[in-house]
Amino acid sequence: MRIKRRKSRVVKIGSLSIGGANPIAIQSMAKCKTSEVAKVIRQVRGLEKAGCEIVRLAVKDSQDAAALKKIKRQVKIPLVADIHFDYRLALEAIESGVDKIRLNPGNIYKKEEVKKVVSGLKAAKIPLRIGLNSGSVKDVSSKGMPDKLVNSALGYIRMVEGFKFYDIVVSLKASDVLDTVSAYKKLAKLCDYPLHLGVTATGSPFSGALKTSVALGALLLDGIGDTIRVSLTDEPVQEVYAARCILEALGLRNSGVSLISCPTCGRCEVDLVKIVRELEEKLEPGAVRFSSARPLKVAVMGCVVNGPGEAKEADIGVAFGKSEGLLFKKGKPVKKIAYSDCVDILLKEMAKEYVLD
């Protein structure tokens, strides 16, 4: 099955193009005060290494806005300034050289103020994200939330278009999965601006990742979405790993290695959970090239009943017996490997033929 993407305009965020036929980009946010420049730079570089492609930074005051200039000089990834309440901070962030501004229509809506921001965006040739949240629409009662989000977005879009500005990205994040899906589906039919997908305030990392996967999965399968963020109450890199998983599961991006493993059962005689965790740790922190690597399927299976079948279908696979496993490559058994060596051997096999840095 191939996903037919919705036709959206192309918008440039720094060196990155989103929308149109461009790959769906992964976003996240730094989670420390933007004026703490060294900390922010560390987080932004970590995010970039994990596969993030756009980073948003909260701009709460003039110190944050000024810090953007220093941060911008030291990172390559496009930076978005997240602005609430005070439109002047958007002007200061533009002055600092950010690549995009996010305004919240719930708290910056006066025509004269928005006009001033749009003039700044035009002069700097950078885009605007109209970023709505269910918590910031005028009537926050959940009844009719999708329509409230869509109507609020459309009103704001028309106001910005009235200033002859069209470099727009839109997001409509609700904390409810069904509201989020419904709102994006409605708006997707009413404009051709690129859509940034996300669910807001999702809860713990586990439930947050699952709720977001359900919502974003439904939208992405319908071809809707040009950038995504998985908002988690966790380290920012975890958001990137979750986003990568969603896009990889739908065949929309390829980070190089797709690790599959069985759930284990009474037939498994090795500590498969430990092996898979170790492999994930070795592969996760940006060890794998993200963009152009060809897909590599690696299977780690707990026994010889179903294991060899799955392992054979993978590029590299192992099916375990009592204390050793049978290594497969491209469907053919290669050799027996000791349980204690299997992580190293699998990593070496991946590095030998494929995509590890």
Q: What is the binding site for ligand SF4 (CB under 6 A)?
A: 262-265, 267-268, 301-303, 305-307
CA–CA distance, 248 with 80 (Å, rounded to integer): 25
CB of 307 to ligand SF4, least distance (A): 4
Q: Which is nearer to ligand SF4, 288 or 346 (CB)?
A: 346
CB of 284 to ligand SF4, least distance (A): 23
Token match 């709505």: residue?
132
Q: Which is nearer to ligand SF4, 190 or 265 (CB)?
A: 265
CB of 264 to ligand SF4, least distance (A): 5
Half-sphere exposure of 64 (CA within 13 A, CB side): 22
Residue by residue, DSSP assigns 88-127 as HHHHHHHHTT-SEEEE-TTT---HHHHHHHHHHHHHHT--
CA–CA distance, 305 with 267 (Å, rounded to integer): 8
**CA dist 139 to 134, 149, 269, 285, Å?**
9, 10, 57, 42
Q: Which is nearer to ligand SF4, 236 or 307 (CB)?
A: 307
Q: Which is nearer to ligand SF4, 118 or 303 (CB)?
A: 303
Q: Which is nearer to ligand SF4, 145 or 319 (CB)?
A: 319
Beta bridge partners of 89: none
Q: Which is nearer to ligand SF4, 47 or 300 (CB)?
A: 300
Beta bridge partners of 57: 81
CA–CA distance, 138 with 190 (Å, rounded to integer): 21
CB of 304 to ligand SF4, least distance (A): 7
